[in-house]
A and B are shown apart, each in its own frame.
Chain A
Amino acid sequence: MSAPFIVSQTAGLILAVVLGLFFGLFLERGGLGNPHKLTGVFYLTDFSVPKAMFTAILVAATGLYLLSDLKILDMQRVWIVPTFFWPQLVGGALFGIGFLVSGYCPGTAVAGLASGRLDALVTMAGIGAGSLVFAIVYPALEGFYFSSSMEGVTLPSLLGISHWVVMAFVYLMAGGMFYMMERYERTR
Chain B
Amino acid sequence: MEVIMKKDSFWSPYIAGAGLGLTLLATFVITGWGLGASSAFSLLTGVGLGKLSPEYANKLTYFSQYLNVESPLLNWVLFEIMGLFLGALVGALLAGNFRLRLDKPVHMSTWTRVLTAFGGGIIIGFASRLARGCTSGVALSGGAQLALAGWVFVIAMFVSGFIGAALFRRLWS
Q: What is the CA–CA distance of A186 and B34 in the complex, to the nearest angstrom?
A: 35
Specify which chain B residues have a CB less than 8 angstroms from the CB of A99 in the assembled complex: 120, 124, 135, 157, 161
Specify which chain A residues have a CB less than 8 angstroms from the CB of B28 in the assembled complex: 4, 60, 63-64, 73, 78
Specify which chain B residues have a CB less than 8 angstroms from the CB of A77 in the assembled complex: 32
Chain B 13-40 per-residue mask, 1 if CB under 8 angstroms from chain A, else 0: 1111111111111111111111101101
Once the chains bind, are B147 and A154 in contact (CB under 8 Å)? yes
Specify which chain A residues have a CB less than 8 angstroms from the CB of B19 in the assembled complex: 22, 25-26, 29-30
Chain B 89-129 per-residue mask, 1 if CB under 8 angstroms from chain A, else 0: 11110010111111111000000011011111111111111
Q: How many A-B Cβ pairs are below 8 Å?
A: 530
Once the chains bind, are A130 and B123 in contact (CB under 8 Å)? yes
Chain B's closest residue to A31 (CB) is B10
The 8 Å CB contact of A94, one of B17, B23, B126, is B126
Known contacts A53-B139, A111-B88; is-contact A155 B148 (Cβ 8 Å): yes
The 8 Å CB contact of A25, one of B14, B26, B90, is B90
Specify which chain B residues have a CB less than 8 angstroms from the CB of A16 in the assembled complex: 76-77, 79-80, 83
Q: What is the CA–CA distance of A131 and B42 in the complex, to the nearest angstrom?
A: 5
Once the chains bind, are B13 and A98 in contact (CB under 8 Å)? no
Q: What is the CA–CA distance of A52 and B15 in the complex, to the nearest angstrom?
A: 8
Give the Cβ gap from B130 to chain A, nearest Cβ, in Å. 4
Known contacts A29-B95, A96-B159, A102-B116; is-contact A78 B125 (Cβ 8 Å): no
Specify which chain A residues have a CB less than 8 angstroms from the CB of B138 in the assembled complex: 81, 88, 92
Specify which chain B residues have a CB less than 8 angstroms from the CB of A158 in the assembled complex: 148
Q: What is the CA–CA distance of A27 and B69 in the complex, to the nearest angstrom?
A: 32
Q: Main SS of the interface on chain A?
A: helix
Q: What is the CA–CA distance of A88 and B20 in the complex, to the nearest angstrom?
A: 23
Once the chains bind, are B101 and A116 in contact (CB under 8 Å)? yes
Known contacts A92-B152, A141-B130; is-contact A25 B88 (Cβ 8 Å): yes
Q: Is A172 an interface residue (CB 8 A)?
A: no
Specify which chain B residues have a CB less than 8 angstroms from the CB of A5 in the assembled complex: 29-31
The 8 Å CB contact of B134, one of A85, A97, A106, is A106
Once the chains bind, are A35 and B88 in contact (CB under 8 Å)? no
Once the chains bind, are B135 and A126 in contact (CB under 8 Å)? no
Specify which chain A residues have a CB less than 8 angstroms from the CB of B63 in the assembled complex: 135
Specify which chain A residues have a CB less than 8 angstroms from the CB of B139 in the assembled complex: 53, 92
Specify which chain A residues have a CB less than 8 angstroms from the CB of B81 in the assembled complex: 20, 107, 110
Specify which chain A residues have a CB less than 8 angstroms from the CB of B24 in the assembled complex: 56, 59-60
Specify which chain A residues have a CB less than 8 angstroms from the CB of B172 in the assembled complex: 35-36, 39-40, 42-43, 100, 103
Give the Cβ gap from A88 to chain B, nearest Cβ, in Å. 5
Chain B's closest residue to A59 (CB) is B21
If A23-B23, A96-B159, A135-B62 are given as contacts, then 8 extra A-B residue pairs at C-beta distance below 8 Å, sorted by A number, are: A26-B87, A78-B33, A100-B172, A115-B88, A115-B97, A119-B117, A127-B122, A129-B45
Could you list 9 A-B pairs, sorted by A, with CB under 8 Å?
A: A4-B30, A20-B83, A27-B88, A30-B11, A48-B10, A63-B25, A64-B144, A87-B132, A128-B44
Residue ranges of B at the interface with A (Cβ–Cβ < 8 Å): 8, 10-11, 13-35, 37-38, 40-42, 44-46, 48-49, 60-63, 74, 76-77, 79-92, 95, 97-105, 113-114, 116-162, 164-165, 168-169, 171-173
